[in-house]
Structure 1
Amino acid sequence: MSEPMSRRTLLGATAGTAVAAATGFVPAPATAAGNRVPAVVRELDAKIEEAMAAYMVPGVAYGLRYRGRDYVRGFGVTSLDDPQPVDADTVFRVASTTKPFTGTAVMRLVERGRLDLDRTVRSYLPGFRTADPAASARVTVRQALNHSAGWLGDYFLDTGNDDGALARYVDEMSRVPQLNPPGKYFAYNNAAISVAGRLIEVVTGVTYERAVRELLTGPLGLRHSAFSLEELPGVRWAVPHVPNEAQTEIVPQPAAWAMPRAINPAGGLISSARDQLRWARFHLGDGRVPGSDRRLLSRRSMHLMQSNPGPGGTLFVELDGVGVTWLLRPTAEGPKVVQHGGDWAGQHSGFLMVPARDFALTVLTNSDTGPTLLDDLFVGDWALSRFAGVHNLPAVPRALPAGELAAYQGVYTGEQIYFDGSTLTTQFEVVPDAGQLSVRIDGTEVARLAFYRRDYVVFPNPDGTVGNQRANFVRDRDGEVTWFRLGGRLYRRGAEATVQRRSSAPATLPRPILS
């Protein structure tokens, strides 16, 4: 059976040899200002090294906040073609982990009275509209930031690289379908965060990138964080690696680093493990710059970003919802997890915090095989249980009778608008099978779904054990199943297939470009 999730690696866990053996590079041990490294930190090091070898990940860097101390470490190399060692200051594209930077910049402007979370987007952008002018007129700034704006979120149109790129991108959103009324459902929305970036430009009168530098990265002393390598001369960067055409090995692909400028607010930040850890310390704190009395945000604003979530659901794990760009994740013990993560071609990152435990972990990788390493650490309980003493909500699968499963049967369809403006459509069929649901593309099973509570499913592993990845179905006001939420995206339920596959590649569930 195929591996069961959109973020799963394209390469098998046993393919190839260990990157460390191939390069001969042995990283220095993690340090904590000269203190003895705890056993659990050494366990993290070992787990990362094992995963790099198993999944063929050339380079990894992490930052860890644990029991009042900071740890940073690099592993492996920046490129298999030019193997330079990864360290705590090597820069990666953190992709969607950028979104809380956009949200935090918005909150600085809210405190200055320049933006109001509960005013409509159109209050600041009078000409703004999606394909549904009436619905898009009601979307508030808060809804854009908590992923409940309701329009199609995977809109990646490339509108150039000059200072007007973001304005043109937002103007072109008149073609973007409005899937649901504002505020009704959580559906991961890259486009909405780019709209928030445009709001920052409009009220500050400078480009989004300059505003973030002046509002955040500069005051916080994030010296290895920017939106282009040209802003970071001399800094070592982690080259993206992607599968070759035969899907047998990974190869460097520097061109994959490029990103349309209009997507910068949703995923364009370049940063290092050391900077990401400093960023985590800021958000674990009370609004002051770490190690300083300078205040960037009030305690109230910091709390607001991590509370009052919008609609909940799933994004690889269960979510209470989203605050101001932070994903808020419940735990069995009660303390909330505040997290994000990022995916781009050959660049994948994870970032989570448990403020009640003063714990944070950020991990950066430079390969399309990186998501499996990140899943091992972030999606399940591995890091949370060892460093923060908390666990995911329990998910005990149970078989359902065929009559109950029939409510979910159907063909599910989702779309994204790609860089050149073309629309890419994904369809898969969900069929009851032996107490579970079988997910099929062109008749081939690509995943199984096992229910653990009403409308919520886990993906069993090929060996029958329970996996960590979760998804859920969504019902309309009449109780009818109308959507399947996979990777945070909504796939509409229909009666029959309407799209023919155009690719000869093996059938797999979609993997989000930014998440």
Structure 2
Amino acid sequence: MTKAHSPSGVVLVMKGDDIILAKGYGYRDLAKRIPVDPETTLFRPGSISKLFTWVSVMQLVEQGKLDLDADVNRYLKTFQVEDTWPGQPVTLRHIMTHTAGFEDGGYGYLIADDPARVVPLAESLARYQPQRVNPPGRHTAYSNWATALAGLVVANVSGTDFNTYVQQNIFDVLGMEHSTFAEPLPPALQANMAVGYHYVPDRYEAMGYEYISNFGPAGALASTAHDMARFGRALLNGGSYRDRSILKGKPCNRCWTKVLPTTSGCAPLASACSSATSAPTASTISATTGPPPSSCPISACRRRKTWCSFLPLAASTARDRYTRPS
């Protein structure tokens, strides 16, 4: 933390269903010298937010309200995804494996520093719809826009806005009392939010809250280490935590199955931790990870050779924020 000039952080380690370490480091508020509390201090986990979007989609699949292989336009009300490749529609399966074929983008509009710039999700997605540069299912290309589109589908089909849907169907179910997609933060959570800082020579400067509401399902989550532990345990235990279920049986297991073949020299972003039909254990995850070839052009792939079809979709937000589209 000292080397990276990070004033705060949190670590939580689990073995099975047990938390064996939960510790806060530094201060969530430097000026007031308030230390980090792993149970109550909120951080922004960035694209880990996407996991909640995928679970929401799979809940509606479980209920028979969504079809992963249907044209996503079936579930849109105010605009349509362009029919760039006739006969090859974008589906939720393409979106969830980042193979929809959209160009990259986000510079200047993905993250805002002023809540006045926030517009309804459908309006934002229509305004900034990217071009479909590849046919769906052909290439892997990370897409915040497509993930946010999946969140809009959840809202349209469920009849409630995305933030409320996640609150009622995931957070409330698992007892995640210190988590939200809402921006600005609800007053009850604002007091425990870790302040973000920018380091300049010899001092830290506080930064304002980043607003991602225009593409909220892709990255707007604020949560605590203990809340994320509840969510993680649910995913690794067939969709349930302490008899509270967010997914059941087959839909949960499908989140861990292999969806793209491993290619020579570089593992795709959506390869699997395990080809088994059940959710992987910690041992199966660690057994299938390892350093890829140094020639791999994908930064995320250089960090881990094998990602499961569910968890990889939470990649580094640093790339999301600062990579200018070519």
After superposition, the C-alpha distances for 1:168-202 in whole angstroms (9 at most, x for unaligned) are 0122244x222211111111110000000110111
- Write out per-residue CA displacement over residues 463-488 of structure 1, whole angstroms, 9 at most, x where no aligned residue: xxxxx6489xxxxxxxxxxxxxxx98
**Cα distance in 2 for residues equivalent to 1:488 and 1:272:** 18
Aligned counterparts of 1:221 and 1:391: Cα–Cα separation in 2:
31
CA contact (8 A) 1:78 1:84 kept: yes
TM-superposed deviation, 1:67? 5.0
1:80 corresponding residue in structure 2: 30
Identify unmatched segments of 5+ residues in structure 1. 1-51, 323-327, 337-353, 360-383, 396-449, 460-467, 472-486, 490-509
Q: Secondary structure at the match of 1:91?
A: coil
Return the TM-score normalized by structure 2. Answer: 0.79
Q: One-letter code of the match for 1:241?
A: Y
Residues 118/394 of structure 1: CA separation in 2 closer, same or farther (3 Å cut): closer
The corresponding residue for 1:251 is 204
1:62 aligns with 2:11: yes
1:129 shift after superposition: 2.3
| 8 Å CA contact retained: 2:88, 2:135 | no
Q: Aligned equivalents of 2:205 and 2:221: distance in 1?
A: 20
**SS of residue in 2 equivalent to 1:101:** helix
Instruction: Tell me: CA distance 1:170–1:394, structure 2 relative to 1, closer, same or farther (3 Å).
Output: closer
Retained in 1: the 8 A contact 2:258–2:272? Answer: no
- Quote how far apart the aligned CAs of 1:122 are: 0.8
Instruction: Please point out which of 114, 119, 123 is paired with 2:65.
Output: 114
SS at match of 1:78: strand
Q: Distance in 1 between matches of 2:61 and 2:322?
A: 26
Looking at structure 2, the residues matched to 166 and 178 of structure 1 have their Cα atoms a distance apart, in angstroms, of 20
What CA distance in whole angstroms lies between the structure 1 residues aligned with 2:192 and 2:162? 24
TM-score normalised by the chain length of structure 1 = 0.52
Q: For 1:171 and 1:206, locate their aligned partners in 2 and report how far apart those are by CA, in whole Å.
A: 19
* 3-state DSSP of counterpart to 1:76: strand
* Change over 3 Å in CA distance of 1:105–1:162 after alignment to 2: farther
Query: What pairs up with 1:476-491 in 2 under 5 angstroms?
Result: none
The residue type equivalent to 1:118 in the other structure is D
Q: Is the 8 A contact 2:155 2:162 kept in 1?
A: yes
Is residue 59–residue 78 contact of structure 1 (8 Å, CA) maintained in 2?
Answer: yes
Task: Describe the shift of the 1:202–1:181 C-alpha distance in structure 2 as closer, same or farther (beyond 3 A).
Answer: same
Q: Does 1:169 align with 2:94?
A: no
Tell me which residue corresponds to 2:186: 230
Question: How many Å apart are 1:110 and its aligned residue?
Answer: 0.8
Q: 1:148 touches 1:311 (CA, 8 Å); kept in 2?
A: no
User: Structure 2: which 5+ residue stretches go unaligned?
Assistant: 306-313
- Structure 2 residue 163 is the aligned partner of structure 1 residue 209: yes
Of 270, 286, 290 in structure 2, the residue corresponding to residue 392 of structure 1 is: 290
Deviations 1:421-480 (A, max 9, x none): xxxxxxxxxxxxxxxxxxxxxxxxxxxxx53xxxx3699xxxxxxxx6489xxxxxxxxx
* C-alpha displacement of 1:83: 2.3
- Residue 277 of structure 1: which of 229, 242, 248 is its match? 229
Residue 463 of structure 1 corresponds to: none
Offset at residue 166 of structure 1 (A)? 0.4
Relative to structure 1, the CA distance from residue 389 to residue 148 in structure 2 (aligned partners, 3 Å threshold; closer, same or farther) is closer
Aligned-pair CA distance for 1:64:
1.3
Q: 1:194 and 2:148 equivalent?
A: yes
What is the DSSP-based 3-state SS (H/G/I as helix, E as strand, rest coil) of the residue aligned with 2:59?
helix
Report the CA distance shift for 1:181/1:231 in structure 2 as closer, same or farther (over 3 A). farther
Q: Give yes or no for the alignment of 1:308 onto 2:251.
A: no
CA distance in 1, matches of 2:210, 2:237: 33
Does the CA contact (< 8 Å) of 1:150 and 1:185 recur in 2?
Answer: yes
Q: Secondary structure at the match of 2:3?
A: helix
Distance 1:458-1:169 versus aligned 2 partners, 3 A rule:
closer
Residues 295-344 of structure 1 show CA distances to partners (whole Å, capped at 9, x for unaligned) of 33122111111213247679xx964443xxxxx565xxxx68xxxxxxxx
User: Retained in 2: the 8 A contact 1:128–1:170?
Assistant: no
1:264 match? 216
CA distance in 2, matches of 1:242, 1:55: 11
Q: CA deviation at 1:124?
A: 1.1
Cα distance 1:320–1:152, how it changes in 2: closer, same or farther (>3 A)? closer
Determine what percentage of the aligned residue pairs are the same residue.
Answer: 25
Higher Cα Rg, which structure: 1
Distance verdict in 2 for CA 1:122–1:65, change over 3 Å: same
Q: Answer with 225-234 or 70-79: which moved more.
A: 225-234
Residue 357 (str. 1) matches residue 271 (str. 2):
no
Matched with 2:102 is 151
Contact conserved, 1:191 with 1:266, CA < 8 A, in 2?
Answer: yes
2:127 aligns to what SS in structure 1? helix
Please state if 1:103 is matched with 2:54: yes
The residue type equivalent to 2:238 in the other structure is D
Question: By how many angstroms is 1:252 displaced?
Answer: 3.3
Equivalent of 2:138 in 176, 184, 188: 184
CA contact 2:17–2:233 (8 Å) conserved in 1: no
Report the Cα distance in structure 2 between the residues aligned to 1:173 and 1:320, rounded to whole angstroms: 27
Partners of 2:133 and 2:261 lie apart in 1 by 15
CA distance in 2, matches of 1:164, 1:268: 14
RMSD (Å) for aligned C-alpha atoms: 3.6
Contact kept? 1:320, 1:329, Cα under 8 Å: no
CA apart distance, 1:58: 0.7
Indicate the SS of the match to 2:28.
Answer: coil
Give the deviation of 1:104 after TM superposition: 0.1
Q: Counting strand residues as a fraction of each chain, which structure ranks higher? A: 1
Residues in 1 aligned to 2:36 and 2:281: alpha-carbon distance in whole angstroms: 31
Q: What residue is the counterpart of 1:443 in the other structure?
A: none
Size of the aligned set, in residue pairs, is: 301
> How far apart, CA to CA, are the structure 2 residues paired with 1:123 and 1:69?
43
Query: Is residue 458–residue 470 contact of structure 1 (8 Å, CA) maintained in 2?
Result: no
- SS of corresponding position for 2:29: coil
CA contact (8 A) 1:63 1:276 kept: no
The 8 Å contact of residues 56 and 250 in structure 1, kept in 2 or not, is answered as: no
